[in-house]
Amino acid sequence: MNPGAAGKTAAQSIRVMIVDDAVVVRGVLGRWIEAEPDMQIVASLRNGREAVDHVERVRPDVVVLDIDMPELDGLHALPLLLARKRDLVVIMASTLTRRNAEISLRALTLGAKDYIAKPNAYGDFAGADEFHRQLIEKIRQLSARFHRRVPAVGAAPPPKPPAVWPAKPAETAAARIETPPLAPHHPDDIVLRAFPACVPKVLVIGASTGGPQALMSVIGKLNGVFDRVPILITQHMPPTFTAIIAEHLTQATGRKAREGRDGEPVTGGHVYVAPGGKHMRVVHRDGGPVIEINDQPPVNFCKPAVDPLFESAARVWPQGVCALVLTGMGSDGLRGGRAIVAAGGSVVAQDEATSVVWGMPGQVAHAGICSAVLPVHEIAPRLNRLFSGEGA
């Protein structure tokens, strides 16, 4: 048993399986996870075949799954793992190459809940604070969303399977990554605002975990919006991923979608995606709105972040912004959503039942700034009516 298991029980802990062919990666990720008081490693394996063989015995809640591995890679192991444990939360882990980004996005359509970009070199792991923070947050938040564990009274926890990396020194509480607990959400507490009387002039969208799937579901059905106004999107994603998302949006809509370029005019019928690793804002210049791309520090731990886009849109199009907040962790978009409403615009949020994580949309819903909180399949029809002037 790993020393990090002391004081943990099966009912209290999130059970994590790591699957990666690099022993260094398994070791670092394992130490990070074991340092968390509410997590334990139940298996640390070197390929997808071992993961498939072990998943029913060790019963993980979450699997961190590498893509490139011998014998059975992550993409092919994914459906086999889900077939053996239907409620399994799988987080794909890959380095930032175009091929791996494409595979990670493909994995989302096959049932993976999220992805995370690994540092490109093993030596980079030691100082990868942001990767560390994201990994722990994704494990904790996704497990909370998909595993509502109720401890059995008097039940003894099963023995913890041994991990396969060397023992580590005890870590202090200060070294742990803290993520805020999920606040309980009560639909009856949501108070909706009336939509403004004026027809919106722009649609801005913010999304994070689960966002690619939600975006594809919504964007392809927004013909009534495309015909009239520009669409600007901030999806929490690293570089390379955002370029691929833009390509997929072009295929899904038949309209031009691409990463925003600094100084580019914003025109109707186009989709602009914030590039990974940069913030995208809108400014008024030379008589019209243009894209501004900047390399300022992360906002809400995110880069790109939703708030800079939303806040800047509220200044450029007073009373003319409709914001859509889709599935995602955290509260990014709340401050910007408030700015949009204060300027006379409107906010629409995805509902909890169809969100992978109801963090971002839940925050704006419970802040009382939404004019609608909708299942993902109802969002496009409502927006089409709103932007056509027929009323919401």
Mind telling me the catalytic residues? 208, 236, 332
| Ranges assigned E (strand) in 236-299 | 256-259, 270-273, 279-285, 288-294
Angle 361-365-368 (CA atoms, 0-180°, nearest 5)?
150
336 vs 125: CA distance, rounded Å: 33
Overall size of the chain counted in residues: 392
Q: Tokens 């570089």 belong to which residue?
A: 239
Locus of tokens 């399949």: 377
- Give Rg (Cα) of the chain: 22
Got the DSSP string for 178-193? P-PPPPP--GGG--PP
Torsion angle of alpha carbons 25, 241, 313, 267, nearest 10°? 170
Give how far Cα 390 sits from Cα of 197, 201, 251, 385, 386, Å. 11, 14, 28, 5, 6
Distance of CA 151 to the CA centre of its chain: 28
Q: What is the DSSP string of 126-173?
A: GG-HHHHHHHHHHHHHHHHHH----PPTTPPPPPPPPPSS-------G
